[in-house]
Amino acid sequence: MTKMHIKLTVNGKAEELLAEPRELLIHVLRERLNLTGAHIGCETSHCGACTVEMNGKSVKSCTVFAAQANGAEITTIEGLGSPDALHVLQRSFREHHGLQCGFCTPGMITRAHRLLQENPAPTEDEVRFGMAGNLCRCTGYQNIVKSILAAASEINAAQEAAE
Amino acid sequence: MIPAAFEYHRPVDVTSAASLLRRLGDEARVLAGGHSLIPMMKLRMAAIEHLIDLQDIDALKGISIDGDTVTIGAMVTQAELIAHEGLAKVAPILREAALQIADPQVRYMGTLGGNVANGDPGNDMPGLMQALGAAFLLTGPDGAREVAARDFYEAAYMTAREEDEILTAVRFTAPPGGYAYEKQKRKIGDYATAAAAVLIGKEGGRVAHASVAMTNLSDTPVWSPAAAKALTGTDCGPEAIRAATEAALADIDPTEDNRGPVAFKRHVAGIIITRAIQRAWSRA
Ligand SMILES: Cc1cc2nc3c(=O)[nH]c(=O)nc-3n(C[C@H](O)[C@H](O)[C@H](O)COP(=O)(O)OP(=O)(O)OC[C@H]3O[C@@H](n4cnc5c(N)ncnc54)[C@H](O)[C@@H]3O)c2cc1C
Ligand code: FES
Ligand code: FES
């Protein structure tokens, strides 16, 4: 089958590649662009481990064709922070034990990032509802919710201080 | 889970999409949010040679409210339905139902058009469209036509849409009065074990008009005029609600699956219908 010329902006960087239309975005990110932060958990659109941001939406990248993503702006966990300069959410997950094995974490944090963009001061219920597309087998969610609420307060406090 | 290979098309207007569909015949399918279609393609339950992606067709996007006539483009996503304040004012039942579909990621991608065109009895919007008495706008190579939502569903995955037609929009009259969409599911991200959409108008303490429909309790969505009749003219008290629930249950035909045996589904359906009527009445 003919390959398609695909252009993406990933974490602010322009990328071009040839891919079959049927290739899934998660495979393009992991195998062609070596961005292995987003994970493949269920492959059936349920677990959210593959969550990335596409054009300002949280999406399960196992359920998006490379062809559909042509022209899109994508943010992955690699685009949020780096080991020397962690994003507030990453730091908060570490401090509040929001992860154990860490498999769900990139998806959790990428999703939480979008959630806080849309709702900067969520209640606990809103966090739980907004994170409902991400499954975790380890933590029991309690500390994930705590990490996100703490990150939200920290971001809001920093913003108030700046104003 | 890699789907079989296909050719990808991304037309920018409805006419080109419809003529692609006609030219490519039954080997082609349109792609909206992909959140029903891609899972099927991954399981290789759908063999498709050509995918026609509708994402660049602006005419399929947008919500317009003209008096009490609401028109929603097929490519409007569930997340957009939820966020639209104007829509929440005239027809809040759409937000209430959309919030009960899947999870946030799925709602960013899944569209109203895909949800109603899919034909899966588990989809929530078709039941709601029965209650609203919505019309579906279809465009094919020979022009446009309208089909009533109540005439659209023939059997699971079988609808009145011709293979070369595109569903362009959904249109309905904003329903006056109370409303409720109640859904029982095993967990977030699950399809309904039973769900019900109820609209009730109140005048002088009595039910002036009602509409009752159900999701995933037959191989098509079910609209129950008998349930509405049992409510109309009453005070919507326990007796009337019991009679309406019985009438609605007489119209369903659930089958046993991983959500439970038939007796259980009927039991859950009865509770969900009763709750939906009570809540719609409390808001009327
Ligand atoms: C984990 C998960 C949970 C879910 N839970 C629910 C749930 O609880 N309730 C629910 O209702 N849905 C649920 N869904 C399905 C979801 O809402 C889908 O997005 C929706 O059913 C289809 O919309 P789509 O835009 O993704 O369509 P697609 O998957 O792109 O298309 C679906 C079908 O409709 C056809 N089609 C699409 N648009 C048009 C058009 N404009 N004209 C003609 N044909 C068209 C396609 O060819 C295809 O056959 C769930 C999905 C997932 C992955
Ligand atoms: S891997 Fe995509 S949702 Fe689980
Ligand atoms: S930390 Fe192990 S799956 Fe979430």
pLDDT at A29: 98
Tokens representing A127?
A: 């966090």
pLDDT at B54: 98
- Domain identity same for B161 and B191: no
- Domain identity same for A75 and A93: no
- Tokens 């700046």: give the residue: A162
- Domain identity same for A13 and A63: yes
Nearest CA to A112 among A148, A67, A66, A68?
A148
Nearest CA to B1 among A22, A131, A15, A59?
A22
Tokens representing A135?
A: 């499954």
Distance of alpha carbon B224 from alpha carbon A86, whole angstroms: 56
Nearest CA to A107 among A157, A59, A43?
A59
- Domain identity same for A33 and A16: yes
In a domain, B56, yes or no: no
How many Cβ atoms from other residues are within 10 Å of residue A30's Cβ? 19
Query: Which secondary-structure segment (H or E) carries A78?
Result: helix A77-80
Gap from B258 CA to chain A (nearest CA, Å): 17
Is residue B168 within 8 Å of B138, Cβ to Cβ? yes
- Domain identity same for A99 and A60: no
Beta-strand (E) ranges in chain B?
Answer: 7-9, 28-31, 50-53, 63-66, 69-73, 135-140, 143-148, 153-155, 158-159, 166-173, 178-184, 194-203, 206-215, 222-223
Cα atoms found within 13 Å of the Cα of residue B154, Cβ hemisphere only: 7
pLDDT at B175 over 80: yes
Question: Of B173, B193, B221, which residue constitutes the final position of a domain?
Answer: B173
Least confident of A34-48, B44-58, B256-270: B44-58
Mean pLDDT of B41-50: 90
pLDDT at A1 over 70: no
- Interface check for B47 against chain A (CB to CB < 8 A): the answer is no
Q: Which of residues 67-106 of B touch A (CB under 8 A)?
A: 79, 102-106
- B244 is in which domain, residue-wise? 185-283
Query: What are the backbone angles phi and psi of residue B37, rounded to the nearest 5°?
Result: -70, -45
Mean pLDDT of A96-111: 98
- Interface check for B39 against chain A (CB to CB < 8 A): the answer is yes
Question: Of A79, A112, A145, which residue constitutes the final position of a domain?
Answer: A79
Question: How remote is the CA of residue A106 from the centroid of ligand 3, in Å?
Answer: 10
Kindly state if the Cβ of A104 falls inside 6 Å of ligand 3.
yes
CB contact under 8 A, A132 and B103: yes
Question: Of A61, A79, A97, which residue constitutes the final position of a domain?
Answer: A79
- Tokens 């039991």: give the residue: B267
Distance of alpha carbon A76 from alpha carbon A54, whole angstroms: 9
Tokens representing B106?
A: 């799925």
- Domain identity same for B119 and B222: no
CATH number of the domain within which B133 lies: 3.30.465.10
CATH number of the domain within which B194 lies: 3.30.390.50
Mean pLDDT of B114-142: 97
Mean pLDDT (chain A, rounded): 97
Question: Of A55, A79, A103, which residue constitutes the final position of a domain?
Answer: A79
pLDDT at A93: 98
Tokens representing B264?
A: 């259980």
- Domain identity same for A137 and A158: yes
Q: What is the pLDDT of residues B205-243, one digit of tens each?
A: 999 999 999 999 999 999 999 999 999 999 999 999 999
ipTM of the complex: 0.97
Cβ-Cβ contacts under 8 Å for B136 (sequence gap 6 or more): B116, B129, B146, B147, B148, B149, B152, B161, B167, B169, B170
Interface contacts (A, B; CB < 8 Å): 80
CATH number of the domain within which B43 lies: 3.30.43.10
Q: Specify the pTM.
A: 0.97
pLDDT at A136 over 80: yes
Is residue B180 within 8 Å of B283, Cβ to Cβ? yes
- Domain identity same for A49 and A104: no
- Domain identity same for B159 and B253: no
Look at chain A and report how many structural domains it folds into: 2
CB contact under 8 A, B104 and A4: no
In a domain, B45, yes or no: yes
- Tokens 């659930």: give the residue: B254
In a domain, B2, yes or no: no
In a domain, B100, yes or no: yes
How large a percentage of chain B has pLDDT more than 70?
100
Is residue B64 within 8 Å of B71, Cβ to Cβ? yes
- Domain identity same for A130 and A149: yes
pLDDT at A163: 86
- Tokens 């969550």: give the residue: A51
pLDDT at B46 over 80: no
B28: β partners: B50
H helices present in B60-111, as ranges? 78-83, 85-90, 92-98, 104-109
Cβ-Cβ contacts under 8 Å for B168 (sequence gap 6 or more): B14, B59, B60, B73, B74, B113, B137, B138, B139, B144
pLDDT band at B142 (very low <50, low <70, confident <90, very high): confident
- Domain identity same for B192 and B270: yes
CATH number of the domain within which A152 lies: 1.10.150.120
Cα atoms found within 13 Å of the Cα of residue B207, Cβ hemisphere only: 28
- Domain identity same for A53 and A100: no
- Domain identity same for A42 and A74: yes
Chain B residues within 8 A of A111 when measuring between CB atoms: 104-105
Distance of alpha carbon A67 from alpha carbon A20, whole angstroms: 8
Cβ-in-10-Å burial (0-12, 13-18, 19+) of B221 comes to buried
Mean pLDDT of A131-157: 97
- A20 is in which domain, residue-wise? 4-79
- Domain identity same for A19 and A74: yes
Gap from B203 CA to chain A (nearest CA, Å): 37
In a domain, B180, yes or no: no
Chain B residues within 8 A of A67 when measuring between CB atoms: 8, 10, 51, 53
Q: What DSSP designation does B4 have? A: P
In a domain, B205, yes or no: yes
- Domain identity same for B106 and B144: yes
pLDDT at B268 over 80: yes
Cβ-Cβ contacts under 8 Å for B160 (sequence gap 6 or more): B147, B151, B152, B153, B154
CATH number of the domain within which A14 lies: 3.10.20.30
Look at chain B and report how many structural domains it folds into: 3
Q: What DSSP designation does A56 have? A: T
Local structure of B162: helix, strand or coil:
coil
The angle subtended at Cα B78 by Cα B72 and Cα B84, nearest 5°, is 65
pLDDT at A57: 98
